[in-house]
């Protein structure tokens, strides 16, 4: 990826350099020299970002993250300019005069793209969105009719350093929804547990009558760090578990529990991260809830069941094939922190990686039983410190209803101030 990035950047700059020098005169020569020097400085900056050891414990990855994002915020608009310029040159194939699409289309598109990328840094990543979802099921016990669940995911607290203001607003917004229970579906840190320390007091303010339940995500295990020993890595994970218990969260690590309302119960299952390559496989649904049909609890019993699983691919590849779990809740995708909307239409580049990348999905299992998953697009950022377009930090509020399934239940959202 680094090699492709370098080659692409060089080709873009060479094209623009020679485009400036076309119809050469003194003014163009001066501008081409300025552009060449600026490009060399950008390449040197890219080299520094790529050479910093990202998995070293002593490295602050925020510099790498901000550096690469700054670089891409310049070269993506340049790429758009080059594409438009090349399209304008196509008439040359038929010996016609080329169009100046680079100037009249590529340049405005590049400016719009640059503004959008930095708008995602300064505005979108701070604008919390509350998404309301209604879930209907005839299997839901009467005591849970109207039961409210708040889901948050992918906080990636390390991206915020020691600045707790956004997480504090997020917690206040969750509490203002007055949920009966709160679920966190993984990735509370980027690389290591100590990133969480400044946020412990803030996260302890989350409250609901039935408590806060959490699971682990792929970033929570310390797999993105180089450790001196396996025991050091194990201690890092144990500290994460200890701190979550300390702030009053109940972790479900390949285990299950019961939620009680109005004298009725539903089953809450939580698995560790279920990772497809290159992510490690820690989740085990069978350990969390038995599949044996002779057991009083089994994955195909008649109880209403909710599953917390960080990676929605788990639902696609396993959950829908071996169980009748009514509702699964996931995160992980972030919608690649880029989402575009027009009315009810939503699109994200995450669609090329995940068939269930954000929102509510329904599927029947082999027995014809309806199963649902909601994929929360997360509240934090990793990789790039930005959320582009409509990929706002998300709080999902799910209201359970006893009754027949409502096909295509509409979701509505509102910004939380």
Measuring CA to CA, how many Å separate 330 from each of 190, 289, 315, 355?
A: 17, 17, 9, 13
The mean pLDDT value for 66-94 works out to: 90
Report the sign of the C-alpha dihedral through residues 343, 349, 354, 357, in that order. Answer: negative
Neighbour count for residue 67 (Cβ, 10 Å)? 16
Please give the sequence-ordered ranges of beta strands (E in DSSP) within 107-193, or none if there are none: 128-137, 148-152, 181-184
Q: What is the largest CA-CA distance in the chain?
A: 87
Strand order in the sheet with 394-402: 249-251, 212-214, 181-184, 148-152, 394-402, 128-137, 412-416
Question: Considering the entire predicted model, what is its pTM?
Answer: 0.90
Q: Which pLDDT score is estimated for 91? A: 83
Q: Which residues pair with 329 in a beta bridge?
A: 308, 374
Exposure string of 160-177, with b = 16+ CB inside 10 Å and e = fewer, is beeebebbebbbebbeeb
The one-character DSSP state at 318 is: I
Q: How confident is the model at residue 388 (pLDDT cuts 50, 70, 90)?
A: very high
The mean pLDDT value for 185-211 works out to: 97
Check: CB of residue 306 under 8 Å from CB of residue 327.
yes
Q: Which pLDDT score is estimated for 391? A: 96
Between 182 and 62, the higher pLDDT residue: 182
The mean pLDDT value for 46-72 works out to: 80
Q: Which pLDDT score is estimated for 417? A: 40
| CATH of segment(s) 128-416 | 3.60.21
Sequence-ordered alpha helix ranges (H) in 141-263: 165-176, 200-203, 230-246
Check: CB of residue 273 under 8 Å from CB of residue 283.
yes
Between 46 and 184, the higher pLDDT residue: 184
Q: Which pLDDT score is estimated for 57? A: 62
Mean of pLDDT over the chain: 91
Residue with token string 């006893």: 402
Q: How confident is the model at residue 54 (pLDDT cuts 50, 70, 90)?
A: low
**Separation CA 227–CA 233 (nearest Å):** 6
The mean pLDDT value for 277-295 works out to: 86
pLDDT in tens, 288-345: 998 877 777 889 999 999 999 999 999 999 999 999 999 999 999 999 999 999 988 9
**Separation CA 264–CA 211 (nearest Å):** 17
Q: Which pLDDT score is estimated for 416? A: 47
Residues of the chain with CATH 3.60.21: 128-416
pLDDT in tens, 92-143: 778 788 788 877 898 999 999 999 999 999 999 999 999 999 999 999 999 9
Between 210 and 45, the higher pLDDT residue: 210
pLDDT above 60: residue 69: yes
pLDDT above 90: residue 82: yes
Exposure string of 301-318, with b = 16+ CB inside 10 Å and e = fewer, is bebbbbbbbbbbbbbbeb
pLDDT above 90: residue 63: no
């Amino acid at each position: 990826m680094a090699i492709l990035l370098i080659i692409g950047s060089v080709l873009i700059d060479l094209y623009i350099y020679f485009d400036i020098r076309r119809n050469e005169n003194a003014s163009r020569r001066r501008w081409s020299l300025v552009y060449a020097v600026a490009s060399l400085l950008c390449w040197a900056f890219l080299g520094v970002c790529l050479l910093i050891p990202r998995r070293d414990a002593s490295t602050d990855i925020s510099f790498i993250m901000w550096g690469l994002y700054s670089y891409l915020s310049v070269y993506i608009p340049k790429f758009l300019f080059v594409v438009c310029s090349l399209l304008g040159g196509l008439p040359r194939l038929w010996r016609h005069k080329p169009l100046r699409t680079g100037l009249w289309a590529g340049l405005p598109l590049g400016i719009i793209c640059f503004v959008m990328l930095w708008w995602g840094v300064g505005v979108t990543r701070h604008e919390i969105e509350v998404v309301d979802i209604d879930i209907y099921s005839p299997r839901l016990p009467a005591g849970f009719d109207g039961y409210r669940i708040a889901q948050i995911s992918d906080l990636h607290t390390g991206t915020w350093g020691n600045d707790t203001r956004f997480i504090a607003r997020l917690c206040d917004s969750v509490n203002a929804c007055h949920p009966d229970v709160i679920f966190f579906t993984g990735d509370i840190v980027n690389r290591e547990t100590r990133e969480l320390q400044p946020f412990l007091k803030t996260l302890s303010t989350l409250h609901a009558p039935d408590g806060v339940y959490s699971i682990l995500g792929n970033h929570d295990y310390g797999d993105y760090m180089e450790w001196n020993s396996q025991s050091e890595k194990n201690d890092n994970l144990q500290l994460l578990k200890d701190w979550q218990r300390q702030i009053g969260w109940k972790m479900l690590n390949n285990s299950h529990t019961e939620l009680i309302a109005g004298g009725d119960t539903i089953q809450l299952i939580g698995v560790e991260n279920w990772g497809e390559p290159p992510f490690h496989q820690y989740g085990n649904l069978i350990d969390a809830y038995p599949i044996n049909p002779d057991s009083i609890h089994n994955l195909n019993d008649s109880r209403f069941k909710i599953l917390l699983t960080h990676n929605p691919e788990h639902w696609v590849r396993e959950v829908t094939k071996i169980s009748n779990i009514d509702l699964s809740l996931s995160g992980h995708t972030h919608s690649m922190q880029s989402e575009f909307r027009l009315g009810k239409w939503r699109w994200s580049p995450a669609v090329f990686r995940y068939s269930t990348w954000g929102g509510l999905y329904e599927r029947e299992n082999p027995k014809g039983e309806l199963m649902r998953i909601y994929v929360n697009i997360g509240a934090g950022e990793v990789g790039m410190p930005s959320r582009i377009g409509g990929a706002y930090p998300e709080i999902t509020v799910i209201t359970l209803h006893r009754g027949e399934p409502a096909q295509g239940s509409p979701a509505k959202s509102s910004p939380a101030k």
